[in-house]
Amino acid sequence: MRFRPSLLALGAALIFVTLADGQEWTRFRGPGGSGLSNAKNLPVEITDANIKWRVDLPGNGHSSPVLWGDTVFLTTSGGGKSGRRSVVALSAENGAEKWRSEYRFTPYRQHRFNDFASSTPCVDAQRVYVTWTSPEGVEVLAIDHAGKRVWSKTVGEFSAVHGSSASPVLASGMLVIGSHSEKGESFIIGLDPKTGKEKWRVKRTTGSTGAYSTPTLRAISSGAAELVFSSTAHGLTAIDPATGKIRWEHDPGFSKRCVGSPVISGDIVFTAAGSGGGGKESTVVQIIDGKPQPAWKAGKKGLPYVPTGIAFEGSIFLLSDGGVMSCRRAVDGELLWQKRVIGAPYASPIIVDGRIYCCSKEGKLVVLEAGDKYLPLGSYQFPDGIDGIYATPAATNGRLYVRTFSQLFCISGRP
């Protein structure tokens, strides 16, 4: 196998440029889906004094918060058979509700750990975009920052035994939605964010396990970008978000579900598939001259299934569903350290100012140094009575936003 460290560094630099362009946290796992934040002054040793505010939400959900300016956006559901979902806008400063937009839908059977509000919205300067699924199909809607619906449409069929969780993303001026069903049609589409008009559609193979993952943005040397999807049916697929053209694919023959997003470190791309309580399969490729080449093997120990891993300064950090974190050198996969760092997580880790923040299902937050040696820095147990954390935190403007099933916490190092 051939490695090109210079291209690895170039890719990382391009991602850093994207990260440095703004403070907003506009999609699942922040800028490009990288999970990286340039926020400063977040506390490492967190205490109750660092809880700037906490608010009750009008319903439950597992979708992550996203932010634009002074507003936090998230989704909630009434749970069970209520048939009610909401898009909620809150003040980033004090958590006060700015507006709430409610929608009716037909409830359907899904996994008991899932929720009807599991897909994370994405947001730009004009609108917030949401995808929801129901027996009627995949619905996409755009709402302006005052809470008024701009457009909505059903873009295709949907059927999956566990429900859905894949989130919409904005890239190259396009709103991109991937739907990998277990019955009927599967597709990836690009919509005009202003009008909802369909610009392109890529047909995908429908399989017995579907896919629940959200694509990750990868910067390439030309200055363009590609969205990397993972699915059981196709493995890894890179698409030009402006046109829908498939740039490359790598099919390792997965048999399990893809839930976590691809992890990208320059020219190295990692993804995993799993079932039950953990990851069972993985593949790692290096992109050389626009084509994927097998890179290294991660083995089965410590593979993630639900949580998405994260790349930082030439290392890849993988958090298993059992709470074991593995740090591997991105270029060759060498295992640098592997430790149990937290209780069982569903939320994905993020990195803020060179430190890893990760949450367990039961409500513990752990902070680690994002380095090639294991170095715990601090931890915080959320108050008794919270109902669990499945959502990935958001970090911007010196604050960390952590969503439980029914509450939102704002953590700050400043008074």
pLDDT value of position 11 = 43
Stretch 20-42: mean pLDDT, rounded?
85
Residue showing tokens 């919509």: 191
pLDDT value of position 18 = 44
Comparing 21-25, 45-49, 192-196, 220-224, which segment has the lowest mean pLDDT? 21-25
Per-residue pLDDT of 232-248, as tens digits, reads: 999 999 999 999 999 99
The answer for residues whose C-beta is within 8 angstroms of residue 123's C-beta and 6 or more apart is 24, 26, 27, 66, 67, 68, 73, 129
Q: Which CA distances in Å does 222 have to 195, 225, 227, 312, 320?
A: 29, 8, 15, 22, 34
In this predicted structure, the answer to whether residue 279 has a pLDDT above a threshold of 60 is: yes
Comparing 12-21, 313-322, 345-354, which segment has the lowest mean pLDDT? 12-21
User: What does pLDDT average to over the chain?
Assistant: 89
Signed CA dihedral, 60, 64, 68, 71: sign only: positive
In this predicted structure, the answer to whether residue 28 has a pLDDT above a threshold of 60 is: yes
Per-residue pLDDT of 291-349, as tens digits, reads: 999 999 998 899 999 999 999 999 999 999 999 999 999 999 999 999 999 999 999 99
Residue type, 393: P
Comparing 94-108, 271-285, 361-375, 389-403, which segment has the lowest mean pLDDT? 94-108
CA distance 319 to 302: 7
CATH T-level fold of 5-412: Methylamine Dehydrogenase; Chain H (2.130.10)
348 compared with 10, residue with greater pLDDT: 348
pLDDT value of position 45 = 93
Per-residue pLDDT of 36-94, as tens digits, reads: 998 988 999 999 999 999 999 998 888 999 999 999 999 998 866 778 889 999 999 99
pLDDT value of position 160 = 66
pLDDT value of position 276 = 85
